Amino acid sequence: MVRREQWPLIGAYECWQAALENTRALSRDHAALAELYGGTLAARLQRAADDVLRLHRKCRDVGRLGAVFCDQGRALAAAGGKAHAAAAAEWRAAALKLRLARTARAQRTDPASAKKLKALDKELDKCTEVGYEAVVSRAVRSAAAADAARAQSLRSAGAALVATADRLDALGDRQRTREAHAAAFTPPRPLAPRADREPRADDADDDAEAADEPEDEGVAAVRHEVSARLRQLEAAAAALRAEVRERAKTLDAAEAELVRQVAGPAALWDAAGLLEPAAPHPPHDDDAPRRDQEDYYLEVSCCPSSLLINTVRIRGRQLLSNC
């Protein structure tokens, strides 16, 4: 029986001390990892989940507001369609009167001829001292190899987690979702121009004869008014396209800033020094300024939509009043 004070003379004691120190270090590492997983990461993930839920609610409210604006826009478009139909009816009536007048005038000078219009379109047991130390040595080596293999496995698992995190792509997921449900996200096709009647063979003769005849003052006034309205519509369309481009730039910048605010700075997520002997505590993240900026960018993202819908509504009313 070897006394306690003679234990350092035996080689197995050194292996036991090394295994004890390794176990203590492993216990400290597990305590640090438990604090990281149970405290910091859980709190940050919960905060991120709260942020996503809050953003979802806000975006849902924005979507409801957009739906209201779209309903108003559809109502305005329906009113415009009615006004267009009324104007088309008046135009057809005026065209009929003009055709009758031309026919009557032609009958006074030439023989009667038809004139028409065109249409649009992832054990130790007993043994000797030598054998005992050999077994201890082999056990220590096996334990060290197992720890090395475990470290390699953890490193591989960590690399796989990092690679998985790097492959996260919210925009790609959204694009794949839109492609998988293309019918739900595809806007309706515009209505084709409706022809009132089929073109006839004598329309060319009618147009040629109308070109040879002197233009009436009423026709010139109508043509001047239609040209002025066409220029107004082209100017309104150009201004609307410029507003849409500026709104798209503002939305892209606001979206990038919101993503950066939700993710937070890189120092908050750095866990490389948490297993060191004198590991510092994770920095405290003040959430109030970030939420203020988040609300600001959400407001910036929503305001252009309201301004755009109001602009379209005002211009549509102006065009209806001119009709």
Query: What is the DSSP track for 127-151?
Result: --HHHHHHHHHHHHHHHHHHHHHHH
Percentage of the chain lying above the pLDDT 70 cut: 65
Domain count, the chain: 1
Please check whether residue 290 lies inside any domain of the structure.
yes
The mean of the pLDDT values for the chain is 74
Please check whether residue 296 lies inside any domain of the structure.
yes
Q: Is 1 exposed, middle or buried (0-12, 13-18, 19+ CB in 10 A)?
A: exposed
Q: How far apart are CA 291 and CA 261, in angstroms?
A: 8
Please check whether residue 13 lies inside any domain of the structure.
no
- The pLDDT of residue 118 is 44
pLDDT at 317 over 60: no
Q: Where are the beta strands (DSSP E) in the chain?
A: none
Please check whether residue 56 lies inside any domain of the structure.
no
Percentage of the chain lying above the pLDDT 90 cut: 1
Please check whether residue 228 lies inside any domain of the structure.
yes
- The pLDDT of residue 259 is 75
The structure tokens listed for 187 are 């806007």
pLDDT at 269 over 60: yes
pLDDT at 300 over 50: yes
- Overall average pLDDT of the 107-136 stretch: 54
pLDDT digits (tens, 9 = 90+) for 192-224: 655 555 555 555 555 555 555 566 677 778 778
C-alpha distances in angstroms, 226 versus 82, 92, 95, 215, 316? 18, 15, 15, 16, 16
Please check whether residue 302 lies inside any domain of the structure.
yes
Give me the domain span that covers residue 309: 218-264+286-323
Please check whether residue 35 lies inside any domain of the structure.
no
- The pLDDT of residue 124 is 45
- The pLDDT of residue 146 is 86
Please check whether residue 154 lies inside any domain of the structure.
no
pLDDT at 115 over 50: no
- The pLDDT of residue 281 is 64
DSSP-assigned letters across all residues of 216-248: PHHHHHHHHHHHHHHHHHHHHHHHHHHHHHHHH
